[in-house]
Chain A
Amino acid sequence: GEQVEQRPPHLSVREGDSAFITCTYTDPNSYYFFWYKQEPGASLQLLMKVFSSTEINEGQGFTVLLNKKDKRLSLNLTAAHPGDSAAYFCAVSDDRGSALGRLHFGAGTQLIVIP
């Protein structure tokens, strides 16, 4: 089955710097890709959902890159601020165009942004 590896497990950056998190997956048929943010004691908040056909996705203060050839999904938080301190999880789904897919999660990255 699908294996999702996320790196790094812990990341500290200074305010204003970029924070880069990467996930690799194994199933070439994976089609939907997700990034979630989880603050301490809270639930998961969807940052972005990426479709297989889209390589670069811009969000508010971050960019998500999808490289299907290398089976790699990346999250780049540009100009990080202390409010970005949280755990970040990637997830991969192998279903197309339906809500029936299973999400396979990475183990998470604990990000600390130092003021």
Chain B
Amino acid sequence: DMKVTQMPRYLIKRMGENVLLECGQDMSHETMYWYRQDPGLGLQLIYISYDVDSNSEGDIPKGYRVSRKKREHFSLILDSAKTNQTSVYFCASTPTGTGGFGPGTRLTVL
């Protein structure tokens, strides 16, 4: 069964701390995505990765960076987290839903 995993599922950090969100997929999909979801805004694209070390900014990349060293793993990094980065973060592989979205990480920055 195709699957996208995310760790951790819940995270509480203080402003200024570093945050690492992990995403994995077992389908060897080349393309992976990070989105954030805020009430009333739908999902907004942060970054796309087309393959290992081939990443591209999405619509709201400011304050984020990504790392993809293996095809099956895609990390989202917040250096010095801010309170306005409190959100639910979703990883996806392919945009079409065939790979699907991960379960999400609920991040709270205090």
Contact = CB atoms under 8 A, between A and B. Distances in A.
A46 B95 contact: no
A107 B97 CA distance: 18
Contacts of A106: 42
Contacts of B74: none
Contacts, number: 63
A49 interface: yes
Contacts of A105: 42-44
A71 B90 CA distance: 27
A8 interface: no
Given A34-B97, A43-B103, A99 B30 contact: yes
Contact of A108 (B42, B45, B100, B102): B42
A interface residue count range (under 10 / 10 to 19 / 20 to 34 / 35 or more)? 20 to 34
Q: Is the interface of B mostly helix, strand, loop or mixed?
A: loop
A49 B90 CA distance: 19
Interface string B43-65: 11100101000000011000000
B94 interface: yes
B100 A46 contact: yes
Given A43-B102, A43-B103, A43-B104, A103 B41 contact: no
A44 B48 contact: no
A61 B76 CA distance: 37
A89 B43 contact: yes
Interface of A: 1, 4, 6, 9, 32, 34, 36, 42-44, 46, 49, 89, 91, 93, 95, 99-103, 105-108
Interface of B: 29-31, 33, 40-45, 48, 50, 58-59, 90, 94-98, 100-104
